[in-house]
Amino acid sequence: MADADDGQWLDGEAGRLIRPYTVSDGRTEPTLRLELLSTVIATGRRLFGQLGFDHAQALELCRDGTTVAEVAARMRLPAVVTKILLSDLVDWGALDARSPDPLADPADPAVLGSVLAALQRQL
């Protein structure tokens, strides 16, 4: 993660200085279907070429495996923008994505509590 460079991308009072649509290059849909509870994990594949700041940050957050919701919370980006970044990384072979357990009902209070707890730990 590029913590040393955060100063040019963040402002303490204003938040992110780059608008979300800029991060996603104006795209509004990811190339693959990702749920908030989908697990994403880095494959270890090295990418040739330079990753942008946001792609590199997302990849670093996925090193040990995490959910899309956790990445969005840690990056302080809307979920759809995060899904676009992550789907790019999956397309490039840098991430693997796994759908959530089909038995996990997203409206189940236990599942929602688990997601909320994970998000609160990150903020």
Q: pLDDT for 87-103, tens place per residue?
A: 999 999 999 999 886 66
User: Nearest to residue 2, comparing CAs of 71, 43, 60?
Assistant: 60
pLDDT tier, 55 (very low <50, low <70, confident <90, very high otherwise): very high
What does the domain layout of the chain look like in residue ranges?
Answer: 3-122
In the block, residue with structure tokens 């990384």:
89
Strands 95-98 and 39-42: antiparallel
5-41 pLDDT tens trace: 544 555 455 445 556 666 777 787 888 999 988 999 9
Q: What is the mean pLDDT of the chain?
A: 80
What stretches of 67-108 show up as alpha helix (H) in DSSP?
Answer: 68-75, 79-91
pLDDT one-digit tens code per residue, 100-113: 866 666 677 877 78
